[in-house]
Structures are given as structure tokens and as C-alpha cells.
Chains A and B, each alone.
Chain A
Amino acid sequence: MKISTYLNKLSDLALYKKYPISDVILGAKELSRTGELTLHDLNSWPNKCWDAGIRPILEWDVLMSENSFNKCAEFLKHVHLNHFFAVRVQDPGAINYILENYTELKIQLVLETGNHNFKSIETWVQLLGKRLERVILSIELPKATLKDYLQKLNAMGVRSEILGLGKVLLFYTPRNLLSPLWSGKEEKIEALATGEDTPHRNFPVMENFHGTFMYNTKDQFLLDHLEELSEMGLSFLRLDLRFDGYLEVLPKIGGLFKHFDSELVQRIKKLYPRKISKGFYKANKTDVLFKKLKNKNIGKGQGLYLGDVIDVRKKKLMGIRFNSTNMELHPGDYLEIRTPEGKVKNIQVKELLDSALSPMEKAISGNIFFMAHVGGVSVRSRIFKEDRI
């Protein structure tokens, strides 16, 4: 397992060379969400990277509406792309543009958003074919899933990368959300945001040329799991070293890669300037709560759903909207009534009435009909027909 990271200062190359950093990501303001390099940097730094034995990767990770895309494509014409080992892209437009216009350039495909099933990843891999240098996987994939995917990717000869250390992007918009609140003229505006009714405080928010970005309050930190990730077959661990004090931390990380030492991990944690988390590495249960979003007592999926109670005159009548199209209801039929509170009432229909309270021979789809109120049944109760005579 190798390390990839970002290069923001040319002077860092000497340090990176000393530690086992194999790839550096170069981001320019025009192409990269948070990049600050100039065109001159993009055209002069790659050779220096190669000289240091480190592969330069061009970051083109912005999402672009058509007009923005055209500006990026124009900018790209001035970049010496043949000096780069690969280009890193997420926008499908950038993917297609590189595939069709720069036929020698390798692609590092950012699949960090979604792509939580292997079929999706596999389809991207097939689409890019030999042009694909690696896939950058989502950090929302839990360990067990990641392990499975890495096995499959390795079997296909596809390299992989995940974020092992760094800020976790939560939100990305092209709109300028901070500048309306800020009188300064800076190109980059930063703030810490704390939402109401939430225990989470101080989300880093940044606005720049490309819009506004919000990050998690805790950074991703997987250095405890280096050995495990390596055994699982991960090709690259990305470390975002763009924080104060990285010069002190990097040698220790380099040491970890040579010989894993859990005490050293603890020392790195102490030096790291922000709060850290393993995110979803251990488990991802972000759909467990879904079942609680709905009242399961009034689900319609189980049984012969007929309709809903829409009016209750206690101890007298209840009105029912007949919704189902494939059945009829006659006096003498049996019903199961499920209330929103979870009560279940089983009854036999004695009489069906219309809105003039005259008897009906039968009720069918689209009818509003009435019958004697059943104690405990309220509006929004579901009516199911029982399959018995």
C-alpha cells in the first residue's frame, strides 16, 4: 500500500521523497475544488516531481455546468498534460472529455459519491477500460464491503484508493453562501458553522471560486488500520496533509508505513490539529432509521388492502374510501382494520351505506361508503379485506 497526498508547496517534495509518498495531487484554482496552484505551477512542477521519484497527478474534480466546463476545457489546453502521470476526475463530463480528447492520459476515477454497489463500480471500470489507472472509493463503505470490493478490484487488475486522513466533504454547492454575510473581498472566505438542535459544532465552511464547501467536524483518520487496509489489498491511502503542523506529523506517518506501531498512532492523534473519527469504516447504519420514519402500523403492503377510514362519528358511523380496484365489498364480508396506534380489529360487515345513508348492495373502487363504527377505530386506519366467507 502506497501513499498519495496533495502538493501545495514545491519545497515539500524533498520531504515527500524521504517518506514513502508515491503520488502527489496537483490542484489548480481553475480545475480543482480547493486547489490554489497556478498554470505556471502545473506546467513546471510535474518534472520536479518525476525527478524526485514521485508521480504527479492533475486534479480536475470540480463539477461543471456547461459554461464552467468550457472554461475548464479551455484552461486544460494550456496544461502540459503529458507531464502528468494521470488526471483525477469525478464529473462524467470530464471523464468523457478526457477519454475522447486526451487518449494517452490515464484516468483516476473519483467514485467517492455513491457507487455503493459493486455493479456500479464494475460498470465504470468496464467503461474506462485500459484508460483507468485507479478508482477512488467512497469512505462510506464499511470495512467488510471495502474488503469484498478490493478483492474483486484486485482480481480485475484495478488499483484502488480511499481517504485515510483528512477533511470529509459533506456539502458542495456552486452558490456563494458566505460572501453575502462577509464584507471582505478575499477570494477564499472561511467560517465555522454550528447548527441549531445538533450536538455537532464548528463545521468548517469555505467559499472560493467554485462555490461553497462544508466539511465534517471530525476528520477521517484510519491510520490505526494501516495493516488491515494493506492486507485487504488497498493500493493507495490518501493523506490530506494540508493542515498546520503536517511537517511534524509526516515523519511519524512515514514511520508507521515502515513499521506499524500503535503507540506512534496515538502520538500522531495528539499532534493532529482537528478532531478525528473513523467515519463509517467499522459500520454504516445510515439506513437503519428509515423504518422508523414511517408508521409501520398503517403499511399497506401486507394483506388485501381495500381502503382507508376518512370519517368517524363515534358509536355511530365510519366513512371509508374504497381505494383498491380489484375487489368488491358486500354485506357479510370480513374485514381487518388496522389503526395508526397498532390496534387490529376483525369484523364482519353487517350493512353498507352510501352518503345519503341508504343501503348499498356492494361497494367498489372509488366509492365512499359508510358502516357502523367499530370501537377504537380512528381516521387514517387501514381497511383490509379478509379472504374468508
Chain B
Amino acid sequence: MTQRIVELLAPAGNLEKLKVTVSYGCDAVYLGGEKFGLRSAADNFINSELAEGVKFAHDRSVKVYVVLNSFLYDRDLKELPEFLIFLEKVRVDAVIISDLGVLKTVKELTNIPIHLSTQASCLNVEAGKLWKKMGVKRLILGREVSIAEASKIKKATGLEIELFIHGSLCMAYSGNCVISNYTMGRDSNRGGCAHNCRFEYSLDFKDKKENSFFMSSKDLMGIAQVPEFFSHGIDSVKVEGRMKTHLYVGTITKAYKRAISHYEKNASLSPAMIAELEGELRKVSHRDYTEGNLTKRADEYSIFDKREHLDVDYMFVGQVVETKMGEHILMEVRNPFFQNDQLELLPFSEKEKTFKAFPLENILGEVVEKAHPGMLVKLPYVEGVENLNLIRGRSL
């Protein structure tokens, strides 16, 4: 049985990550140029990279959406037209906006489809109707909206609906948090979020005091809800994380692609398969997982209340940059590991393959005991390996 297709939309923090996530099976990517997005500290794309990224993606039937979802000042709007004309020329598939001034500018100058950013906190049917009048094609709903509510919005508006399925969650209504602005002098809605919600706070309740990370949310994981995304007609499911690692985008993309493809073919997702995929998702760094608001209102168990990320058993040791069939793999090292360590190759669609890091050589052919970040190493050839494959190892 074939179900209607749900688009898997993945983050592309830079050109390399775009190639990784496309190779691992996403249907669309979202990325930011040098300006106008919300990730000031990300690598982002210079124009030539953006053009190359679009070509790479389009050659593989993957769509590219460009974020313009910062709350722009007047002076930014003056710079926007040149970039918009460039985006139309390289044929991006949509722009993601949250600001009405940006929306108007896009409509005045281009025919690029417009997706409304989650930053605009579109949460209900009536809001959807209003944004439809404004000319948006797709609503990226606020993360406070359940799948069932999203379905109602879709039916009432006829617009495409995108929901977040995985990744870090803002605790606040998106676009409605200015803690960084007032405490750090960094505008959170212009890409300067300092993540004050992840801090530990001492709370004084008059007659008692508590220390707590009370504003820190667990991360969203919606793999078990894939069937519901299908049955409610959600058009696109989005993975958060333009700032995250290659291993994150590769692993998450692969796991969700498997779930979505399986459901498309079989109209079911067994508990065993969900458990297996959840196991994969737990191998990347995260802050405990929650279902957020996907099926019911996020409750107290959605609060992380811990510092930073959990220790995970696996780490990203490197990325394959060249293969010589039957000879060796050339890998760019991202985290240290030792000769003889057990490593896992993540093929784009096949099952993971375990192999031993022996022999381990540098580019000069010298045997090394320990591989360090910032070096290329030669590893034994593994059947089925491809360029851009990711390799992980047990944490040291």
C-alpha cells in the first residue's frame, strides 16, 4: 500500500552538511545565507556555496529552502533585494520568512514561494487564514501545535503544513523571547540567542528556594508519531539543527527517512522498528527526549532540568572524504580514537557496518596509534563505503 508522501526536511548548516543530509536521504533542506537568518554563529552559505548547494540538491531531486526569518531592521531590508534576486536566479524552492516586511519585499520582487517561519508563531486556523491572505504557500507551525491541530489548520486553509519532528525546542513561543536582548545585549530574534533558557536559575518562592534549569526543554523526538504525521496529512516534517554536527544530521536524516519510507510502503511502523530507530537517535548527543506537543500538551516531564547534553555512548570520529576500492578509506578525523578501536560506518541506506581501525595510517603512510581531529587518516576499506559516509566510534 502506498501512502501519500511526507517530506523529510533537514538542516544544512553549511555546504558539507548539506551534502551529508542529502546523501542520507532527506527530501528537502533548509539553509541560511550570510545574512537575514537566525544563526549568526553558523557557518552559513556564501553565495557561490549556496548556488552549488542548490545544484547538488536539485541534481538529486531534493528541494532547497532559504531562511530569511530574522526580524529585520529597515537597513537590512535595503540589502535584501539583491539577495532575493540571486535566490531566484539560482532557483531556490522557497524562502522562509517571519517578518511581514520581508514577505512584502519577496512578493514585490520575486515569484519565490513563501514559507511562514515557526518564528511567526502561527498556531491556529484563523492565523493560517490570515497568512494565506498574505500569500504564503506553507505554514511552519509553532511547536506548541499538536499534529491533530495542525491537521485542522491544513483542512481549513488548504495550505501546506510543516511541523517540527526532531531537535532542540525553544521553551518560549518562538519570536516571543527577548531574554538575550535585555541581559546579553544580543537580539535573539536576529540570530543572537544566548540560550539563557539553558542556564541554571535559583528560584526564590518567598518561603522556599529551589535551584533548577526550569526553562530548559528536552529535545523533540517524533519518530513514534510518524504514522500520525501521515494520517493527519502533514506535508513536511522538519529536523532542527543547523548548528549541529555532521553525525547529527546524517544519523537523524537516515533514521527518519527509514521510518517514513517504511510507512509509505507498508502503512505501518512496528514497535520493534520504532525502538530500533529510537536507539539510533539516542546515539547522537541530545538532552533527553520528549514528544513535545505532538500528541498532547507538553507537561512537566518535558522540562530537561539538567545541564547541557547527556553523555552518549557514540561519538562522531570522522567523515569519509575519499575511497580507493579494495585499498583504503581516507577519513577526515573529527574526534580522537585509537588504532584497533571498533568503528561503525554509516552507509547512506544500508545497515551500519562495524570494522576495526587497523591499520591506522596518516597520509604519509606512517602508522599512528591515535588519530586526532584535524588530520586525515587511512583506514581499511569497508565494502559498500561511499564518499561522505560518516563514521562513529564508542566514546572514550
Contact = CB atoms under 8 A, between A and B. Distances in A.
Given A171-B197, A179-B300, A181-B203, A120 B40 contact: no
A256 B332 CA distance: 68
B216 to A, nearest CB: 10
A301 B47 CA distance: 8
A301 B34 CA distance: 9
Given A65-B293, A310-B332, A193 B201 contact: yes
Interface in A178-219: 178-182, 189-198, 200, 202-203, 205, 214, 216
B101 A119 contact: yes
Nearest to B375: A311
Contacts of B100: 115, 119-120, 123-124
A312 B374 contact: yes
Interface stretch (B181-189, B278-286, B347-355): B181-189
A117 B172 contact: no
A110 B40 CA distance: 27
Given A171-B176, A178-B214, A368 B203 contact: no
B149 interface: yes
Interface stretch (A5-13, A267-275, A288-296, A342-350): A288-296
A280 B71 CA distance: 16
Contacts of A122: 101
B48 interface: yes
A193 B210 CA distance: 9
Interface in A284-321: 285-290, 293-294, 300-301, 305, 310-313, 316-317, 319, 321
Interface stretch (A17-25, A87-95, A129-137, A223-231): A87-95
A324 interface: yes
Nearest to A327: B48
User: Which of the four size classes fits the interface of chain B?
Assistant: 35 or more
B124 A65 contact: yes
A69 B124 contact: yes
Interface in A59-93: 63-69, 91-93
A159 interface: no
A151 interface: no
A254 interface: no
Interface string A83-119: 0000000011111110010000000000001111111
Contacts of A192: 203-204
Contacts of B167: none
B130 A96 contact: yes
Contacts of A172: 172-173, 176-177
A91 to B, nearest CB: 6
B214 to A, nearest CB: 5
A175 B215 CA distance: 9
Contacts of A67: 146, 149
A63 B190 contact: no
Interface in B82-133: 98-105, 120-131, 133
A45 interface: no
A200 B183 contact: yes
B293 to A, nearest CB: 7
Contact of A355 (B104, B125, B197, B363): B363
A279 B183 CA distance: 11
A319 B99 CA distance: 43
Contacts of A178: 203, 205, 214
B187 A287 contact: yes
Contacts of B185: 285-286, 288-289
A140 interface: yes
A114 B98 contact: yes
B46 interface: yes
B302 A175 contact: yes
Question: Which 10 pairs show the lowest CB-CB distances between chains A and B?
Answer: A119-B101, A93-B126, A120-B101, A93-B127, A379-B374, A286-B187, A66-B149, A114-B71, A96-B130, A180-B300
Interface of B: 15, 34, 40-41, 46, 48-49, 52, 55, 71-74, 76-77, 98-105, 120-131, 133-134, 142, 144-146, 149, 152-153, 171-173, 175-183, 185-187, 189-192, 196-197, 199-206, 210, 212, 214-215, 217, 293, 297-300, 302-303, 321-322, 324, 330, 332, 362-364, 374-376, 378
20 contacts: A66-B145, A92-B130, A96-B126, A100-B126, A113-B189, A117-B72, A117-B99, A118-B101, A123-B101, A170-B178, A170-B179, A174-B144, A178-B205, A181-B214, A195-B201, A286-B190, A287-B186, A294-B40, A355-B330, A356-B324
